[in-house]
Amino acid sequence: MSATTTIVTGSPRAAEPAGRRFDWGQPFVYLVALVIVAVAVGPVLYVFIGGFRTTADLNANPAGMPDPWTMQNWAAVLGAPRFWGNVLASTLLAVATTAGVVIAGIMAAFVIARYSFRGREGLYTLFAAGLMFPLTVAALPLTLMLRTMGLHGTYLGVIIPGIAFALPTTIIILVPFLRAIPDELEEAAVIDGATRIGFFWRILLPLSKPGLVTVGILAFVGSWNGYLLPLLVISTGTLPQEFWPLPLGVTQFSSQYSQDTGAVLAYTSLAMIPALVFFLAMQKQIVGGLTGAVKG
């Protein structure tokens, strides 16, 4: 007598693997993502590709592809001493601002996160309120103060306010990092004879490396792309145009060579490339740092 096996099958939809089900929400999400990417990346690609076109080609067909492709614009910009002077100025400002932001930020965040004192939460709230204080509001008093201090028209007049305006974001990111470090580590370090400064240098700083990298990258890119602050401080001073930072150099170059559209686009592309490459290369560190700040 043969055994009879009964196989019960559900509906095809129930038997279909969950990963293969068609989700009507996904096409809409992808469409929105593609639109956002196109809006964000499209202008950058247009400027970059436009640098390979002649001005006559751009005037004849602004939305077309290069015909012919030419490196003349890039060679002219790279061969101009003005461009390298602008690069040197932007590098100096970005490196100095980043160093100041990281050093001042980690010291202030360490005090707020690891010390207990009256007014600590109020001080943290004050830094958080700084995120709502734009540079445009402080333009006039900042200019008057820099003139009084003799810093107007100098690099220090850009670096010091740049550090101050970047500190709120830095504190907001670093304080959760430092608070998340267990107190047991500090207690163990104290038992081993370490002071609070020793704990800061030997334990806390290495553990806070993702946060430090994040705030450093944000400060560098923000300073490299900064336009309003150098415009207020440097462009109205006596500093030669050859030593203006790149954002001001792009504006001055486009005004002086407004008829040579291809060269202007090439100059703009070269000004964007360093910050863009740096940001893309460090995007994992930025995401990791911000994720750690949220968890903390």
Q: What is the pLDDT of residue 184?
A: 84
Could you tell me the end-to-end alpha-carbon distance of the chain, in angstroms, rounded to an integer? 68
Long-range contacts of 123-130 (CB under 8 A, 24+ apart): 124/171, 124/175, 127/167, 127/168, 127/171, 127/172, 128/168, 128/171, 128/172, 129/168, 130/165, 130/167, 130/168
CA distances from 278 to 10, 222, 244, 272 (A): 54, 12, 21, 10
Mean pLDDT of the chain: 83
Measured distance CA(213)–CA(261) in Å, rounded: 37
Q: Considering only CA atoms, which of 224, 219, 217 is closest in space to residue 87?
A: 224
Q: H-helix or E-strand containing 72?
A: helix 72-78
DSSP 144-200: HHHHHHT-TTSSHHHHHHHHHHHHHHHHHHHHHHHHHS-HHHHHHHHHTT--HHHHI
Give 96-140 pLDDT, tens digit per residue.
999 999 999 999 998 898 888 888 888 898 888 888 888 888 888
Q: Please return the burial class of 216, using the count of CB atoms within 10 Å of its CB with bins 0-12, 13-18 and 19+.
A: buried
Per the CB < 8 A criterion, the answer to whether 214 and 244 are in contact is no
CA 104 to chain centre: 18
Which tokens hold the place of 46?
Answer: 């247009």
pLDDT in tens, the chain (296 residues): 444 444 444 444 444 454 455 555 577 777 888 888 888 888 888 888 888 988 888 888 888 888 888 898 899 889 888 899 999 999 999 999 999 999 999 999 988 988 888 888 888 988 888 888 888 888 888 989 999 998 998 999 999 999 999 999 999 989 988 888 888 888 888 888 888 888 888 888 888 888 888 899 889 989 998 999 999 999 877 788 889 999 998 888 888 887 888 888 999 888 888 888 877 777 676 666 566 555 55
Measured distance CA(67)–CA(246) in Å, rounded: 29
Three-state DSSP class for residue 118:
coil
Query: From the CB of residue 274, how many other CB atoms can be counted at a distance below 10 Å?
Result: 17
Measured distance CA(247)–CA(268) in Å, rounded: 9
Per the CB < 8 A criterion, the answer to whether 160 and 151 are in contact is yes
Measured distance CA(80)–CA(246) in Å, rounded: 13
**Domains of the chain, start order:** 91-247+272-295 (1.10.3720.10)
Measured distance CA(210)–CA(200) in Å, rounded: 16
Q: What is the pLDDT of residue 34?
A: 86
**pTM of the shown model:** 0.80
Q: Give the dihedral sign, CA 261/262/267/271.
A: positive
Q: What is the pLDDT of residue 279?
A: 75
